Structure 1
Amino acid sequence: MKLGLGKKLGLIHSVMIMPYQGFGNDKEVFFLGRVLRDRGIGISKLEDSRWLNFKKMYKRFMTWEIPNAEVQASFNGVTQVATTDEEGYFEFKIRFQEAIGKQNPWQQIRLELVSKVLKNQGEVVVCNEVFVPSEYVEFGVISDIDDTIVPTGATRLWEMIKTTFLGNAQTRVPFPGVSAFYQALSKGLVGRENNPFFYVSSSPWNLYDFLQELMEVHHLPKGPLMLRDIGLTREHFISGSHFEHKLVQIERIFSMIHDIPFILIGDSGQHDAEIYLQIIRDFPGRVKMIYIRDVAPAKHQKVLKTAEEIAKLGVELMLVTNTMEAAHHAASKGWILQEDITDVALKKQQDE
């Protein structure tokens, strides 16, 4: 009904496929995406005003979804079609008869909008990427975003609203030293960025392009973003609680990337420690380490109590107040190069 009204009033001039980077193994890949009216948001600039930032963020949330549209994915000789749901989302899980090569960890998938939504639509084609770990992977990293990478005040509603709607990817600055530490983890001891990163957050999919730009601007390792739908109907997007959403998404990653251990990074503001405890119970032997940024002093003791439960299962949880603590620990364990400690310290100083 909304789409029909928009077309009738001439409010929809072009449509777009918004692909969300995915992941998989040598036998199958998984990714999501969305078909929407082309919003024309563009790249942000440091000098953008608060009003311009607000208008762009408004466009991200006031979407015109394209339901019941067919999207075709072509990859590695396999063609598959998915239909968008009532909010424009589509999902692909593509399996292969023969294993795909692992030389390039980022694989390209062609997506085309098959359905004719507008009269003068033209060709709507985009390229999506999925991560398939190479043979050089030492471990993977799964990180939260809000109050783990960037301060957002996720535990304070008004502070979070101001931060989200009045800033942009250029002005949202990560915690000091985070980008250098994450780069060091990505390189590991091999010295090349082979270790995969996955970002799991309760932020809505509407912020996907914003968060991707933030990662690029601040030189955080490239990796799939697993966000949350703000609707209430789709089971496969898990739009329920923060705990349920993150647990399901991390378990999906563990199930598909099944032959490497993981370092989990989060914060004390919500329930990351308890979520990670459940992951260890569900996937014994798969978690190397847990780093929790201490952003909520009132929850300090609760996190330490959870850490005791985690220790009983043979995994260490470290509650850190700054990035250097985690970096020194990772170096002492032989997970990052000693010389990268200097880079983390220098970047932390610059950020501060």
Structure 2
Amino acid sequence: MASDDMPFLILTRAGFDDIVARIEQPGAVLLLNPGIASETELARLREAGATIHLLPAAIAAGPAPGLDGVLHAAGAGGAAWIEHAVATPGPVAPAVEPERLPEEQSRALHHRLVGTVGSLAGHALRRLGRFGQGGNPMLLPYLGFGNANKLWVKGRVLDEVDFREQTGQDSGWHNLVALYRRLESDQVSGARVVARFQDQVMETHTDRGGYFAFEIPSSAPLSGGWHEVELELPDSATRDRGVVRTVAQVSVPAASARFGIISDIDDTVLWTNVTNKLNMALMLARSNAHTRKPFKGVAAFYRALSAGASGQDENPMFYVSSSPWHLFGPLVDFLRVQGIPLGPLLLRELNMSQVLTLTSHGSHKLDKIEQILGYYPDMQFVLIGDSGEQDPEIYTEVVRRHPKAVRMIYIRNVNPDPARIDALDRLIAEVSATGAQLILAPDSVFAASHAAAEGLIHVDRLADVRSDKREDDKLLHSST
């Protein structure tokens, strides 16, 4: 049996022996539960030309009547083999109750599995096609931002998908189902979108990815807070329903704001293991906004920064990430559930075939930060990131271009490699020469203590950050 680059998700030793005996190794992509094969066996497979990915945690083999049929509906072009559980003697792990999709939706999904997403094809990140021929268009606005004179609004038009609310009791299978729905790319290109704000009426069309954006001038100076922009699809009316409409929320900084905060998300606010795209995707599939936790003390630290030295500054938050816009909903849910100050998210426009091979990470972030700074030329910013990828280099480049716009850089130190530390020391020296500071922080308590000393947060907030970190420690220990 030839592999034709078809990925194989193998969950048991029996499945491993069966597949290895029947496939041609060159070009084969194998996703394996840990512990079902020896290092020697894996090395032989790699030498034979196979690509091996060990899952970060074991996935239980069990029947899945809902999406199980969908996942096994591998047709021509982008099929995937997924091990199906069979009854065997001996102890069997408890089965996880799968989510049962409505029959009509299951049939629709059955016909929509096309394409492959790297080594996770056929698993959580399958590229989905159109939602049938009769799908309803859905307007999905993202959180926008603006100043006293103009607003920026972005969104997407999709075929409608029924998202249900997730809870802390959801199983890993339920989370996987939710991820399928979130990662669906049933974009509607060329759709006419109309925006209304005050006396302004603007029109545009969605691009090939289904995205649209507006920059809306204000006829009168805007006050700080959240403003609403009405959006509609004027050509969406049918005999059964009226025109599709929704409202976009757009944030304008308060007059009391002393500085803005621009934060990375991946491995800064929450652990995503973004440097390993397979592990990142599996983490998202196995958890949700209720069960996924931020780094210890981050929520209280960000609340303190937003409140500022007076406790009432209302400093605006912005989140810039290389995650795709497909994850906007889960990320907003995460911020809300975890009590982290909400703010506009600037994510990436990606096809799902690109999610596991992100490129131009630095260029994307730098462009989005430039866009933010362009809206607030008189505001200084605190930049927060981690040392795992390019945040220090990106933020240093921001300082080079806008030396007066950056007040402080906090980098969570996640890479102990001496060569990386040497590189960071050089960046620290370069940033310091401009009058700004780049601080390597081992945790949120350290960063908060420095911020209090610099007058960025009120000293009384330190106790909250320490308490938040202790609570997170307790949760971590209770779950291990």
Query: Structure 1-normalised TM-score?
Result: 0.92
**What is the match of residue 188 of structure 1?**
308
- Distance (whole Å) between structure 2 residues aligned to residue 146 and residue 248 of structure 1: 17
In structure 1, how many angstroms separate the alpha carbons of the residues matched to 2:374 and 2:184? 34
Residue 288 in structure 1 maps to residue 407 in structure 2: yes
Tell whether 2:458 aligns with 1:337.
yes
In structure 2, the partner of 1:39 is 161
Q: Deviation of residue 193 (structure 1)?
A: 5.7
Q: In the alignment, which residue of structure 1 is the partner of 2:151? A: 29
Identity in percent: 38
Measured against aligned partners, the alpha-carbon deviations of 1:45-96 in whole angstroms (never above 9, x if no partner) come to 1111111111111122222111111111111221111111122100101123
The whole-number CA distance in structure 1 between the counterparts of 2:414 and 2:330 is 23
The one-letter code sitting in structure 2 at the alignment partner of 1:210 is P
* Aligned partners of 2:163 and 2:178 also within 8 Å: yes
Larger radius of gyration: 2
Q: Determine the C-alpha separation between the residues in 1 that align with 2:291 and 2:423.
A: 33
* Equivalences for residues 96-135 of structure 1 within 5 A: 96=218, 98-102=219-223, 104-116=224-236, 120-135=240-255
Corresponding position of 1:243: 362
State whether residues 184 and 326 of structure 2, in contact with CA within 8 Å, keep that contact through their aligned partners in structure 1. no
Structure 2 stretches lacking a partner, 5+ long? 1-111, 113-128, 353-357, 474-480
Distance 2:270 2:421 in 1: 19
Shift of 1:206: 0.1
How many positions carry a matched residue from both structures?
339
1:72 aligns with 2:194: yes
Q: Choose from 354, 376, 379 the match for 1:260.
A: 379
Q: 1:236: which partner in 2?
A: none
Q: d(CA) in 1 for partners of 2:434 and 2:403?
A: 8
After TM superposition, which residue ranges in structure 1, 4 or more long, deviate above 6 angstroms? none
Does 1:277 pair with 2:396?
yes
Find the aligned partners of 1:87 and 1:24 in 2 and give their Cα distance: 24
| Secondary structure of residue in 1 paired with 2:460 | helix
Secondary structure of 1:65's counterpart equals coil
Q: Which amino acid aligns with 2:261?
A: V
Does structure 1 retain, via aligned residues, the 8 Å contact 2:236–2:244?
A: no
Counting only pairs closer than 5 Å after superposition, residues 151-190 of structure 1 correspond to structure 2 as: 151-190=271-310
* Alpha-carbon distance between aligned partners in 2 of 1:170 and 1:108, rounded to the nearest angstrom: 28
Distance in 2 of aligned mates of 1:293 and 1:118: 52
- Partner deviation per Cα, 1:182-238 (whole Å, 9 max, x = no partner): 000000023226100000000000000010000000011110000001149xxxxxx
Secondary structure of the residue aligned to 2:142 is strand
**1:222 aligned partner, one-letter code:** L
Q: Which residue of 1 aligns with 2:84?
A: none
Give per-residue Cα distances to partners, 1:267-326, cap 9 Å, x unaligned. 001100110111111112110000000112223332222112211222111111110000
> Quick check: 2:137–2:236 contact (8 Å CA) kept in 1?
no
Provide Cα deviations, 1:2-24, integer angstroms capped at 9, x if missing partner. 9xx957x5451x22111011111
The yes-or-no answer on 1:351 pairing with 2:453 is no
Letter in structure 2 aligned against 1:214: F
Counterpart in the other structure of 2:430: 309
Q: 1:17, 1:330 → 2: CA distance?
A: 40
Secondary structure in 2 aligned to 1:112? strand
8 Å contact 2:257–2:313 — kept in the other structure? no
CA contact (8 A) 1:183 1:193 kept: no
CA distance in 2, matches of 1:243, 1:307: 18
Structure 1 equivalent of residue 206 of structure 2: 84
Greater mean deviation of Cα atoms: 302-311 or 288-297: 302-311
Code of the aligned partner of 1:202: S
Q: Per the alignment, in what secondary structure is the counterpart of residue 72 of structure 1?
A: strand
Matched, 1:58 2:180: yes
More displaced 10-residue stretch of structure 1: 22-31 or 134-143: 22-31
Higher relative contact order (CA 8 A, sep 6+): 1
Where does residue 224 of structure 1 map in the other structure? 344
Instruction: Say which SS state the counterpart of residue 297 (structure 1) adopts.
Output: coil
AA at the equivalent of 2:213: E
Residues in 2 aligned to 1:313 and 1:100: alpha-carbon distance in whole angstroms: 34
Is the Cα contact below 8 Å between 2:147 and 2:222 reproduced in 1? no
Counterpart contact for 1:36–1:64, Cα < 8 Å: yes
In 2, the alpha carbon distance for the partners of 1:170 and 1:318 equals: 31
Does residue 421 of structure 2 align to residue 300 of structure 1? yes
Matched, 1:136 2:292: no
How far apart are the structure 2 equivalents of 1:252 and 1:198? 11
